[in-house]
Structure 1
Amino acid sequence: MSDTCTISFLIGNGFDIAILKSLDKNFTTTYGEFYDYLAYFLTNKENDIYKAIDNKKKQFSNNENETWKDYELLLKEVVRTKLIELEQYTDFALQEKVYLSFLEDWKEIQYTFANFLNHVITPQTLMDVTNMVVTDMDGKKTLQKFLGDLPIEEYKKIEFPQKINNHIKIDYHIFNFNYSILADNYFYWLFAYHPFNVSKNTLCFYPNPSNISGGKTSTNSDTRYFIRPSVNFHHPHGQLSIPESILFGMSYNNEKTYYRDNSPFKRELSQKLDKAYWGMHTDKVKPFMQKTDLFVIFGHSIGESDQCWWEEIIDQLKQGSELIIYDYEGKGLKKKILHYCKDDENLISDRIFVIDFDETKHLKYSFKF
């Protein structure tokens, strides 16, 4: 048995929306609310990105349920239109003018989005999230007991509990896909590094909180392992405190998507959409992914804008890792992620476990807000 296990949580916008609703906040981080904010506060209504957003809103009356995935697909179309416009000019100066103008539009949207998040998520909101520890709904409990929300048959199949024992080190990696730090505040706690005279253990991990028999280990709800945790936070899409780090787009990470002609503006404009490229996915993220024993996805729609992540998880599942997906309102997320499997999906299907929940079927051990 290894002396270290790695658990990677991938947190999507569904987390921010759910936690803000649970705190009875007036606003959340939905794309629809951002559009309303943009329409009211953006002074430059000639911004090409805003005009594309606004035109689509006016064109389709039934798109109030649009998500950030729809916004990123829209950006793809906006960039494609701009590339066609660049092709109409042979003069370098004119191409540069078009390109620089679009960069200013992009930056303006980034800063307006940052203002929107600051409007929605105040310091008081961050304090409220941190204070969830008082009501026993904080992220520390999620890290300890999330296996308890697995359905009985799913729990019986998962092998991860076999890897945990007393004194093991667990590296928790929180990949916060949101630009806010709500998830950081939820999972963060200030713990003493040496609470015991003879041990460096600082957390208990419960391998079987819901007392399910017939699993891979002979444990019960009273079983708890004293472990050495390490909690690490990552913001692969940028963060609010650095507005120009905010990444919107797709996750190609593939040079074939870039223009290979003599126009640097076409190439750089097409690269602008590549979140994996700017986030240095291969260099910064892949090493952690390759060490991960168990992936946990919460608050994601498993959309194509983050395709490189889903493909990387699939590669690791083929190597023996496992995956837990929280599926809110039964969106069929397991089927969606299997869609990115290029081989026989049966090779990894048995290593994916689903936790279904909704407004009437609440989680008991994890993400209890």
Structure 2
Amino acid sequence: MAFVGNGFDIQVMHDYESPVDTTYTSFYHFLKLRSFDAGNPILQEMERLRDAGKEDWSDVEGVVGDLLAMKKVRPDDLADALREMQGEFSEFLSLAVPSTLLTRLGTNSMDNDLAIKSLANFLGDLEPEDYLRARFPSNVANFDIYNFVFINFNYTPLLDDFVYLDQKQFDPLPFKTVDRNFVFAGNPRGIEGASVRPGDTFSSYVMSEVIHPHGHQSIPRSLLFGIDEPLKKGGNEDRAMRLAKPFWAQNERRYEHLFEDTELFIAFGCSLGKSDRWWWRRIAEALGQERERPNGGDRYQAEMIIYWYNGGPQHLTAPEVRKRFLEAAGMIDRSDIEEFIHVVLHDPLVERYWLNTSQER
């Protein structure tokens, strides 16, 4: 399961020199230019956060919970304020992500096999010590199926466009006598002393799908803003619950089963904020759990790779990223699962396979 946040969209817009990005500060300026209701409490909080130098969407969603907890705004008024934002945000996304950008991104992915390279070679992003500590590489073998399920927290189709397995870079039956269609690189960095020999690849199968749990740009009324699921629920009419994204997305019914048989979780472009705690907690609960592949296959312990961008204002070390994740999951006391969390620190100068949209790649 791969979780992708706004950092991916911002990366695309930087790589393609877009005049507008999808940061909430850009959205704030968009609202001001359109003379949006100055009395909207969410806009007022956005202005305060902007002045404080905050840059993550999770900060904006976090203040929704704060306004509710401190009873500064009635729940119904807060819901109305979020609904007003929903319509404006749809208009903003249409400006920020034109069809020309999608065409350029998709063409680049197709012509340079960027989706396939990302899916096949991502283990090469791990530092040697993390790679040697990881259990996942030792479990790969010929004839495996690599089923990538992308949880796209973004409302735009940029990720969908980039990872789509088109007819040029992917053939479901590329060989005359066998049905394999994917070659997975088990040790692309050539690390010595590993369970997989340097350069070894595995004849396999690949599948992928992209899920938009918080709505899609093409359906404006589907866009979800709000808070995480409240820890204590006051019945079916709990107003806090009805401001929660997991409630409207029906996370438990739709997605909870996915955590039960996932061997590797990957987070990219995510700020690891508390507004998505439902997801982070499910990952944390799964990490280190020993499970068996279907049909009596190999046993495994679920692991995680977190990609953290250190090219911005928040420079963190790998231990600090692990701590931030556990805090976001509400499980800061679970230091015992840190060994199952691998961190890739990156910036524009660091070579990377996973979701690399650079046109020079």
Give the TM-score normalised by structure 1.
0.83
- Show the counterpart of 2:86: 110
* 1:42 positional shift: 4.6
- Show the counterpart of 2:293: none
* 1:72 positional shift: 0.5
- Distance in 2 (alpha carbons) for counterparts of 1:247 and 1:163: 38
State whether residues 157 and 216 of structure 1, in contact with CA within 8 Å, keep that contact through their aligned partners in structure 2.
no
State whether residues 253 and 277 of structure 1, in contact with CA within 8 Å, keep that contact through their aligned partners in structure 2.
no
Q: Structure 1, residues 31-80: CA drift from partner, whole Å, max 9, x if none?
A: 100100011125444444334444x26xx74x244321121122223445
- Show the counterpart of 2:325: 337
1:199 to 167, 175, 178: 178
- Show the counterpart of 1:12: 5
1:122 to 81, 98, 103: 98
* 1:227 positional shift: 1.3
- Distance in 2 (alpha carbons) for counterparts of 1:250 and 1:113: 17
- Distance in 2 (alpha carbons) for counterparts of 1:76 and 1:188: 36
- Distance in 1 (alpha carbons) for counterparts of 2:86 and 2:139: 43
- Show the counterpart of 2:59: 70
2:282 to 303, 309, 312: 312
- Show the counterpart of 1:295: 265
Residue aligned with 1:350, SS: helix
- Show the counterpart of 2:307: 326
- Show the counterpart of 1:273: 243
- Show the counterpart of 1:152: 128
Counterpart check, 1:208 vs 2:187? yes
Q: Structure 1, residues 200-220: CA drift from partner, whole Å, max 9, x if none?
A: 222211011110011232x21
Aligned AA (1:27): V
- Distance in 2 (alpha carbons) for counterparts of 1:251 and 1:48: 19
- Show the counterpart of 2:31: 38
- Distance in 1 (alpha carbons) for counterparts of 2:113 and 2:355: 7
- Show the counterpart of 1:183: 159
1:351 to 307, 319, 340: 340
State whether residues 62 and 274 of structure 2, in contact with CA within 8 Å, keep that contact through their aligned partners in structure 1.
no
- Distance in 1 (alpha carbons) for counterparts of 2:162 and 2:63: 31
Structure of greater Rg? 1
1:366 to 342, 345, 354: 354
State whether residues 216 and 222 of structure 2, in contact with CA within 8 Å, keep that contact through their aligned partners in structure 1.
yes
Distance 1:131 1:283, change over 3 A: same
Q: Structure 1, residues 145-191: CA drift from partner, whole Å, max 9, x if none?
A: 00001001111111111222222111110110111111111111223
Distance 1:303 1:137, change over 3 A: farther
Give the TM-score normalised by structure 2.
0.85
Distance 1:214 1:29, change over 3 A: same
- Distance in 2 (alpha carbons) for counterparts of 1:181 and 1:136: 19
- Show the counterpart of 1:21: 14
* 1:85 positional shift: 4.5
State whether residues 140 and 188 of structure 1, in contact with CA within 8 Å, keep that contact through their aligned partners in structure 2.
no
- Distance in 2 (alpha carbons) for counterparts of 1:315 and 1:176: 21
* 1:253 positional shift: 5.3
Distance 1:84 1:24, change over 3 A: closer
* 1:232 positional shift: 1.2
Q: Structure 1, residues 211-247: CA drift from partner, whole Å, max 9, x if none?
A: 0011232x212x2212111101111111111222211
Distance 1:201 1:153, change over 3 A: same
- Distance in 2 (alpha carbons) for counterparts of 1:338 and 1:19: 28
State whether residues 49 and 78 of structure 1, in contact with CA within 8 Å, keep that contact through their aligned partners in structure 2.
no
* 1:106 positional shift: 2.6
Stretches of structure 2 lacking an aligned partner (at least 5 in a row): 290-300
Aligned AA (1:71): V
State whether residues 42 and 112 of structure 1, in contact with CA within 8 Å, keep that contact through their aligned partners in structure 2.
no
- Distance in 1 (alpha carbons) for counterparts of 2:30 and 2:335: 45
Number of matched pairs: 335
Q: Structure 1, residues 294-319: CA drift from partner, whole Å, max 9, x if none?
A: 01111111111111111111111131
Residue aligned with 2:162, SS: helix
- Distance in 2 (alpha carbons) for counterparts of 1:39 and 1:133: 35
Stretches of structure 1 lacking an aligned partner (at least 5 in a row): 1-7, 87-98
Q: What RMSD, in angstroms, separates the aligned Cα atoms of the two structures?
A: 2.4
